Amino acid sequence: MKKKKKTSSIRRKLQGEKLKERVEKGRRNATGKQNSIIKIDNIPLWRPKDGEHIVDILPYLAGANDKDTPKGSPTYTFEYLVHRNVGPSNTMVLCLTEMYDKPCPICEHRQKLREDGADDDIWKPLFPKKRNLYNIICYDRGEEEKGVQVWDEASFYSEKNIMAISKKRGRGGKSGKLVNFSDIDAGKSISFTIEPPVSKDDFRSYIGFTFEDREYAIEDDHLESCHCLDELIHLPEYEEIADLYWGSKNRDDDNSKKSKRKSKSSKSSDDESDVDDLMSQLEDCEDLDDIEAFVDENDIDYKVTRKTRFKKAKRELESMVLEQFGDSDDEEEEEKPKKKSKRKPSKDEEEEDEDDDEEDDDEEDDDEEEEDEDDDEDLTWSDIKKMKSKELKAVIKENKLDVDPDDADDLSDLRQMVAEEMGIDDIPF
Ligand SMILES: [Zn+2]
């Protein structure tokens, strides 16, 4: 690659009108599945495949929507927090609270559920997840000629790994020097590997992040092609998120509170039979339509959308019913379906699967397997993140989680799905 001198005019151009025009082009049709907050269709997105990769992350000037970087200051990433799988279109929406300290209907609902004593597995998945956008040049075969592409990735895969190597360890416990990998002249390339699945039941993982020296400066052309990442995104209004999240009904918090109270008080005279009645109605539900009818008939504050998963909805509703009616009566305790036990797969179940082909996880697993099966609060993110596909599947089976491994993009995604279903709260993204 040729070495070119950088010019300061490049930096000014990064803020040009052209980019704004592109931003205005309109967001994607909101009825389709929207797995990105990028609102422009023709942004070249880099979607890394299995294997080794090498990229340069290019700096650009932040726009008005970056919470971490003042407008016009250089940055290398736009970090953002989103709620995923929101509403019938399974949309990813920016969390207004985490991003801009504004009210976010989903965070408000999470808080309310928590205060109302809902199960962890109902409100914990409503935490937003951290993601990063980068302008990159990829040097994989056939990629460099594509020029600047945008890499949109869960922080857990990208930023966390990059940050982990960006601080050189100092000798004698001294704090190390930060590696400015995105420096135009003296930056580093980043190489990493996406491990292919070892079997068709396994998933990918992102490993081996390393800085590589580079003997070239980033070209002006490339700097000019960088996107102002925080201005590529769709900034939702509160109302829009609320509409997405709640659908057309039950969106008013106060109303749903009232209806909850109303149903509680009107039924409190005969709680026990009501619980039995509701539980048996729930038991009879065979699909989402039944669930929806059940929710409507009983005026329950529960959102059913096209993407709601039947088993999960049923389980959550059972918890809600029991929570609302089942507190006072000991007899009902026995009727309560057991709360998901948050335990690890038993050894037997792990051995049901094919021979262990995982290498480095084995030693740690030995300890874990000795733990009491009924020790149900112990599964943490650090346990989950060590698990390979078959262990995760054992957890899914063991805890009857509503997770379909086929829905996961890769191993990391599956881990996240399992962790979310288990209501683990220290998921780092
Ligand atoms: Zn939020």
pLDDT band at 150 (very low <50, low <70, confident <90, very high): very high
What is the domain extent for residue 233?
A: 8-239
Unique residue bearing structure tokens 């019938």:
88
Q: How far apart are CA 136 and CA 138, in angstroms?
A: 6
The domain boundary residue, chosen from 291, 313, 335: 335
Segment 214-264, tens digit of pLDDT: 999 999 999 999 999 999 999 999 999 999 999 844 544 444 443 333 333
What spacing in Å lies between the alpha carbon of 125 and ligand 1's midpoint?
A: 11
What spacing in Å lies between the alpha carbon of 395 and ligand 1's midpoint?
A: 28
Does residue 429 lie in a domain region? no
The CATH number for 213's domain is 3.90.198.10
What spacing in Å lies between the alpha carbon of 168 and ligand 1's midpoint?
A: 34
As residues whose CB is below 5 A from the ion ligand 1, the structure lists 95, 97, 104, 106-107, 128
pLDDT band at 335 (very low <50, low <70, confident <90, very high): very low
What spacing in Å lies between the alpha carbon of 185 and ligand 1's midpoint?
A: 38
What spacing in Å lies between the alpha carbon of 93 and ligand 1's midpoint?
A: 9
Segment 62-96, tens digit of pLDDT: 999 999 999 999 999 999 999 998 987 788 999 99
pTM of the model: 0.54
Residues 331 and 354 placed together within one structural domain of the fold? no
What spacing in Å lies between the alpha carbon of 237 and ligand 1's midpoint?
A: 12
What spacing in Å lies between the alpha carbon of 101 and ligand 1's midpoint?
A: 10
Q: Which of 377, 257, 408 shows the shortest CA–CA distance to 324? A: 257
What spacing in Å lies between the alpha carbon of 82 and ligand 1's midpoint?
A: 7
Segment 376-401, tens digit of pLDDT: 456 788 888 888 888 888 888 888 88
pLDDT (0 to 100) of residue 213: 96
Residues 289 and 417 placed together within one structural domain of the fold? no
pLDDT (0 to 100) of residue 8: 64
Question: Over 80: is that where the pLDDT of 33 sits?
Answer: no
Does residue 255 lie in a domain region? no
What spacing in Å lies between the alpha carbon of 113 and ligand 1's midpoint?
A: 14
Across 20-33, average pLDDT: 39
Number of domains in the chain: 3
Q: How far apart are CA 11 and CA 353, in angstroms?
A: 56
What spacing in Å lies between the alpha carbon of 112 and ligand 1's midpoint?
A: 13
Residues 331 and 351 placed together within one structural domain of the fold? no
Question: Over 70: is that where the pLDDT of 353 sits?
Answer: no
Does residue 365 lie in a domain region? yes
What spacing in Å lies between the alpha carbon of 7 and ligand 1's midpoint?
A: 40
Residues 23 and 134 placed together within one structural domain of the fold? yes
Question: Over 80: is that where the pLDDT of 183 sits?
Answer: yes
pLDDT (0 to 100) of residue 111: 95
Across 338-351, average pLDDT: 40
Tokens for 236?
A: 């939702």
Q: How far apart are CA 104 and CA 100, in angstroms?
A: 10
Count of beta carbons in the 10 Å neighbourhood of residue 276:
14
The domain boundary residue, chosen from 291, 310, 335: 335
Residues 89 and 22 placed together within one structural domain of the fold? yes
Residues 207 and 77 placed together within one structural domain of the fold? yes
